[in-house]
Amino acid sequence: MSELSHTNDKGKANMVDVGSKPDQVRTASAQGRIFMKKETLRLIKENQLKKGDVLTIAEVAGIQGGKKASELIPLCHPLQITKLDVKTELNEDSVSVKSFAKCIGKTGIEMEALTAVHIALLTIYDMCKAVDKEMEIGEIKLIEKNKSDL
């Protein structure tokens, strides 16, 4: 079988070849928020929603989502994740989600950090949609990404 060209013709998709890059310690953190009614926030705080403990389930879902980034995003490389942490926090008008991801590899881990935040926020939406039809997910962004030699 012939080797494919690494050039990308318009309309074609290619996964970037990172094989010759050195392994490095790579980290990334991301954040986002879901805005909702004060009554919904109260129900979350008091653990009164029918589906259960919203914040704990969202954190676990975020970790699961971050681990699946390469399965969800077509040209995202699968990585050997060494740490993935997702934290939620109740605010006056929203729930904020922050993630931290770490790996040793040849390419960055920001997609895993961003996916973790997205999935955690979507989980909160799913768990609260029966009581709040006006929720809005937003402010999702990469906070930081770093790499350092081993």
Superfamily of chain region 24-149: Molybdopterin cofactor biosynthesis C (MoaC) domain (3.30.70.640)
What are the pLDDT digits (tens) for 114-130? 999 999 999 999 999 99
Residue 1: its pLDDT value, please? 41
What are the pLDDT digits (tens) for 73-106? 999 999 999 999 999 999 999 999 999 999 999 9
Q: Is the pLDDT of residue 65 over 60?
A: yes
Residue 2: its pLDDT value, please? 42
User: pTM to 2 decimals?
Assistant: 0.91
100: β partners: 29, 85
Distances (CA, A) of 64 to 31, 59, 60, 70, 101: 16, 9, 6, 12, 12
Query: Which positions are annotated as active-site residues?
Result: 126
Q: Where are the alpha helices (DSSP H) in 48-146?
A: 54-67, 69-72, 110-128
For the chain, give every domain's residue range. Answer: 24-149
